[in-house]
Structure 1
Amino acid sequence: MLEGVLARLDEAGNLVPRFTAPRCLLERQAVGGCDACHATCPHGAISLGMVGQSVQIDPAKCTGCGLCVQVCPSGALEYNLEPALQSVKDQQAPDRRATPDASLTCSRSGAGGPSLPCLGRVTPALLSAAGAWGTPLTLLHGDCGECPVGAPDVPARLERVLDEAQRLREPTGQPAQVSIRAAQPEDAGRSLTVSRRGAFGALFRAGKQQVAQSIPDQPLPFIDWSVPEDRTPQEWVWRARSLKPAPPEDAAILWPAPLVDEKCIDCPVCANVCPTNAITRDLQPDGGVHLLLNLSACTGCMACLHSCPPQAIHAQSHWRPAAFRAPLLLRESDTVM
C-alpha cells in the first residue's frame, strides 16, 4: 500500500541540471577556463559559448545522467540533492539494528527500490551523509556498457566518488559503508524499506523531499545572488554538514582551498574569479584591505590559483575544524589596487 501511495506522489520533472552562470569558471573568465561538462557529456548535449552563454544544454539530448554535475568543479551545474538524501535517510532503521541496506539503483538496472535516472548523479556529499547517519548503502547499476542514459565507465566513476567521500570522512572516524555492484535478478524483488518515521514522513512530506520508487526530478529555483548563503552549491553545503561525528580539534579535514603568500600585489583578481564568492576583499577605513576566505563556501576549483597574476596563491589540502567557523584572513595589506 505504501509503495502505491508513494508512486502516486511521484512527479515528472526536468532532466536538465540547473546552470548557475555566476558559478561558472567561463563566466568568471578564470584563466584556463573549464570544459569539464562539455568533455564529460556522453551525449553531446552540452556546448560552450561566449560569456553570457557559456554553457548551453540541449534538452533533447540530455538524459539526466548527471555526469556533468559530478565533474563540475564549482557547482555551476547541479541537481537537487535533497530527494536522494531523504530517501537514504528514510531507509535508516531507528535503532540501527541489522536491517537490509539502504539502496539507490539506476533506472535501467531492473532492481527494485528508490532509483535515479543514472548513478552518475551520485556525489561525495550523498555518500558522506550516508556515512554520517551510519546507514549502509548499496549502489546498484545495470549494464553500463549498453546503457543509453549514462556512460560505460559509470561504475569506475562511482569508485572515485566513494574514494573522495571516504577521504572527507576520515577525520570523523566513521567511514561510509557503501558497496557498488551490478544488479542481479534477485534484486528485482527489492522492496522500498523505510522506517516507520520515514513512512509517515513520506506520506506528508512536501514535493522536494519525497521517497518514491523513482526519485523525482524537480528543477531547483534560480539562485538569488544577493543572498550570500545561497551562493554555495548544495554539494558543498552537504559536505560540510556531513562531517559528523565532529572531528577532533587537531584533525585534518580534506578540503582543498587557497593560501596567499608574500608575492601578492593586492589586486582583485582572485575575488573576481571566485565562483562562489568564497574569497572577498574587505576594504578598511584606513585605505587598506583584508583578503578573506570563507572555507565552507570554497569548492576547491582553484580558479584563483590559475588566475593570480604574480602566482602568489597555492593550494592547501587539509584544514583544522576551527578553520570552518569564521572567515580566514588570507592577507592583510595597507594598500589596495
Structure 2
Amino acid sequence: MLENVFKLLGEYGNVLPRYTGPRCLSERLSVGGCDLCQQACPHDAIIIFQSVSINADACTGCGLCTQACPSGALEYDVTAPLNAVREQKAQPQGAKIVCSKSEEGGRSVPCLARLTASTVMAAGAWDTPLTLVHGDCAACTLGGPSVPASVQGVIDEAQRLRAPTGRPTEVTLRAHDPEQQGSGERVSRRLLFGAMARGAGRMAAQAIPDSPLPFVDWSEPEDRVPAEWRWRVRALRPAPTPETAIYWPAPLIDDTCIDCPVCENVCPTDAITRDVQPDGGVTLTLSLASCTGCNACERSCPPQAIHMQPHWRRDALDSPILLRESGNILQ
C-alpha cells in the first residue's frame, strides 16, 4: 500500500500535458502560427519549431500552457477535476479545489492553472458553489505569480459561457487561509516514519487523480474535438431555449470567399468541412460544437472573407451550419 502511495506522491505534479499535433496551429500552418503556450510558460519549457515540444526536465506541470492554448492542442484530463466537483455536491459549503502548495485542506491539484472553464461551468450546472484556493503564487516555483490572473480569466470565460442559462456559477477564488492549514504533529524520531506515512496517505486521499492522457487517435472523428469543448456543451445547463443567444465565437464567411480550402486545412478540430459537389459547386459547413474559436481560419483566409461572430443561437450547437454554397468552380 505504501509503495503505491509514495509512487503517487513521486509522480504528483510531474505529469506533462498531452500534446495533440493536429490540433496545434503551428502544425496546421496557420498564418502567424501560435506561441501562446510558450508565452504562458514561466519555465521556458516549451519549444516551438513547426510543432511543440516540452522539456520534461524544465516542465513543472503547472498547466498555464493548457489554459493559454486556444485549440486544445495541450491539455490535461478534465474529467478528474469534474469528478472532484461532482463528488462534493452534497457538501454544505459546496466543492473546494486547492493548490497543492496551499497547505489548506481540500481536494487538491498540483496548481490551479490545471483547471479550465468546463470545471467552473459544470459547478454551475450542478448548482454547486465552488471555492478555488491558491497558495503563495508570488514565491511559488511550480506555477508562479501569473496563476491567479490566469485562473480568473478562466472563471470570466466560464461565466460568459454560462450567462445564457441565467445561473452563473457561484465561484470564489482566494489565497489560502493560514488558519485552515494543518497544525502538524510533534513526533519522536521513532514515530517519524509513521507520521510521514499518515501524512502521505492523507495527501494521496485528497489528491485529484492525475495520470498521462493517451495519445489521440486522429482517425476517430469524435476524438478530434478536445474534451474541454465537449464538456462546455454539456455544462450549458439548465438548457437555454433554442433561440437564446450563447457566447461561442466562431467564423462566418462573406461573398468575397474564393472557395479555396485554406480554412478547412488550418482548422485544428476539423470544425469546417469543405465539400465539392458533383456539379462542381462547393459547400462549406461548420460544426459549431467542434469550434474552439481559435481564429486560425480568420487569420489565414487569403481574401479575408472570414470574420468571427461571438454569439449564436443555442440550437446552432446541434447540427451543421451552412457557411457558404457556391456555383461551379470548375467552369
| TM-score > 0.5 by shorter chain | yes
CA distance in 1, matches of 2:58, 2:138: 18
CA distance in 1, matches of 2:178, 2:267: 48
Q: How does 1:55-134 map to 2 (within 5 A)?
A: 55-93=52-90, 99-134=92-127
Q: Read off the aligned partner of 1:78 and give its amino acid letter.
A: E
Preserved CA contact (<8 Å) 2:67 2:150: no
Give the alignment partner of residue 325 of structure 1, picking from 296, 308, 318: 318
Matched residue of 1:37: which SS? helix
The aligned counterpart of 1:17 is: 17
Preserved CA contact (<8 Å) 2:24 2:71: yes
Deviation at 1:239, TM superposition (A): 0.8
Matched residue of 1:253: which SS? strand
Matched residue of 2:160: which SS? helix
CA distance in 2, matches of 1:240, 1:249: 13
Preserved CA contact (<8 Å) 1:18 1:78: yes
The aligned counterpart of 1:263 is: 256
CA distance in 1, matches of 2:320, 2:205: 40
Q: How does 1:27-38 map to 2 (within 5 A)?
A: 27-38=27-38
Instruction: Determine if the alignment matches structure 1 residue 242 to structure 2 residue 221.
Output: no
Q: Structure 2 vs 1, CA of residues 280 and 166 (structure 1 numbering), >3 Å: closer, same or farther?
A: same
Instruction: Determine if the alignment matches structure 1 residue 170 to structure 2 residue 170.
Output: no
Q: Structure 2 vs 1, CA of residues 185 and 240 (structure 1 numbering), >3 Å: closer, same or farther?
A: same
Preserved CA contact (<8 Å) 2:279 2:328: no
Instruction: Determine if the alignment matches structure 1 residue 286 to structure 2 residue 279.
Output: yes
Runs of 5+ consecutive residues of structure 2 not aligned to the other structure: 184-203
Deviation per residue, 1:88-140 (Å, 9 max, x gap):
100011xxxx7022100001000111111110111111100111111111001
C-alpha RMSD of matched pairs (Å): 2.0
Preserved CA contact (<8 Å) 1:232 1:297: yes
Q: Read off the aligned partner of 1:310 and give its amino acid letter.
A: P
Preserved CA contact (<8 Å) 1:10 1:212: no
CA distance in 1, matches of 2:116, 2:26: 23
CA distance in 1, matches of 2:220, 2:249: 24
User: Percent identity at matched positions?
Assistant: 58
The aligned counterpart of 1:272 is: 265
Deviation at 1:186, TM superposition (A): 3.0
The aligned counterpart of 1:39 is: 39
Deviation at 1:259, TM superposition (A): 0.2
Q: Pick which of 106-115 and 155-164 moved more.
A: 155-164
Deviation at 1:284, TM superposition (A): 1.4
Q: Structure 2 vs 1, CA of residues 8 and 213 (structure 1 numbering), >3 Å: closer, same or farther?
A: farther
CA distance in 2, matches of 1:214, 1:43: 24
Give the alignment partner of residue 220 of structure 1, picking from 205, 213, 225: 213
Q: Read off the aligned partner of 1:74 and give its amino acid letter.
A: S
Deviation per residue, 1:18-69 (Å, 9 max, x gap):
00000000000000100101111001111111x3xx1110111111100000
Deviation at 1:245, TM superposition (A): 0.4
Structure 1 runs (4+) deviating above 3 angstroms are 6-14
How many corresponding residue pairs?
Answer: 306
Q: Read off the aligned partner of 1:47 and give its amino acid letter.
A: I
CA distance in 2, matches of 1:103, 1:86: 12
Q: Read off the aligned partner of 1:83 and give its amino acid letter.
A: A
Q: How does 1:129-144 map to 2 (within 5 A)?
A: 129-144=122-137
The aligned counterpart of 1:312 is: 305
| Relative contact order higher in (CA < 8 Å, ≥ 6 apart) | 1
Matched residue of 1:175: which SS? coil
CA distance in 2, matches of 1:257, 1:115: 34
Bigger CA radius of gyration: 2
Runs of 5+ consecutive residues of structure 1 not aligned to the other structure: 191-210
